Amino acid sequence: MSKAILTSNPCHGCRVEEVAAPYFVWRSSGFKVDFASVKGGDVVFDPASTSGDFCTPDADAFLKSHMDLMTGTRAISQFTDEELKKYDAIFIPGGHGIMFDGPESQDLKKAVETMWNSGKIVAAVCHGPAGLLSAQDNAGQPILKGRRCCGFTNSEEKAVGKNDVVPYSLEDRMKSLGGSFVCGSDWSSYVVEDGKLLTGQDPQSSPALAEAVVKAISPGIEPQHGKGEGFHKRGHPLTREHHHDHADDHPGHGKRHDISDHPQAHMHEWQQPLRQTTHAGTGSNVRSERPDRSYNA
């Protein structure tokens, strides 16, 4: 069974990993993925995410083989309400561009509201929740109000030296709208589920968030990750289960054997993903917590 996901990208640039990792998870899980952007046309990627430490294997594979998906995208305004309601989810990746484009776009606001008020999944990662700030429910209340959520934190913004450059603090804005903002350690894979609202903290959270979307749409489907494109199957984000191909052949369990020098091996300490935690519902119970989950798992 194929489910459709509309991915909306910011006009001023987004991070490759936050598009690539979810795309591979969803396509490998049998989902149809359509791309749109705030203003239409070619999507721009943040140069910092196209090389060096932040160019993960997912990002590298996407840049090499899937850039045609980023050219000539439909503007979000071109989707009618009827079209939008045919999708099961809308997902907004991050990158600092969405901080400028998101709250100001009435078209994105309308699309998010249409999906939300139709009972569909609304998901965003890292700075992506900026695209949710202006959206309201049928009662005229912010969709974040009273709901657990996460996004790029103030401490992470300070760590990348952008806290004095961005137009506002995403964490503070989400809180000001009534969102119950929670977070994990800096640069950890951290996902929060509150009903049909699914949010991820930072780039490291992109795969886990995508897997959570799969489970939210089709609970009977086991999320897959990019077999055939240089990726190992990832463990389910809500359990301690971990999968690795040919583990018995390798003394270092979980270590990639299809590349010899992983980009994250050279990350600074503050860039390393520390752990993965997935929260669900409006309570404070933790559904799962497990050790470090890096991109080579």
Which region among 25-34, 57-66, 261-270, 275-284 has the lowest average model confidence (pLDDT)? 261-270
CA count, 13 A, side-chain hemisphere, 220? 3
Domain ranges in the chain? 4-290
d(CA 196, CA 179): 14
Q: What is the pTM of this model?
A: 0.77
d(CA 270, CA 185): 10
Which region among 106-120, 122-136, 266-280 has the lowest average model confidence (pLDDT)? 266-280
Q: Mean per-residue pLDDT for 145-171?
A: 96
Mean pLDDT of the chain: 79
Q: What is the residue type of 256? A: R
Strand bridging mode 74-75 / 89-92: unpaired
Tokens (6 digits) for 286: 């933790």
Q: Mean per-residue pLDDT for 132-157?
A: 98
Q: What whole-number percentage of the chain has pLDDT above 70?
A: 73
What is the structure's pLDDT at 10? 63
d(CA 225, CA 134): 32
Q: What is the residue type of 243? A: H
pLDDT digits 0-9 by tens, 20-63: 999 999 999 999 999 999 999 999 999 989 998 889 999 999 99
What is the structure's pLDDT at 68? 96
What is the structure's pLDDT at 224? 80
d(CA 156, CA 272): 12
Task: Give all strands (DSSP E) within 71-159, no chain letters.
Answer: 74-75, 89-92, 121-125, 148-149
* Edge-to-edge strand ranges of the sheet holding 286-290: 74-75, 32-37, 4-9, 89-92, 121-125, 197-200, 189-194, 276-280, 286-290
User: What superfamily would CATH give domain 4-290?
Assistant: Class I glutamine amidotransferase (GATase) domain (3.40.50.880)
Tokens (6 digits) for 162: 């952008």
pLDDT at 93 over 50: yes
Q: What whole-number percentage of the chain has pLDDT above 90?
A: 66
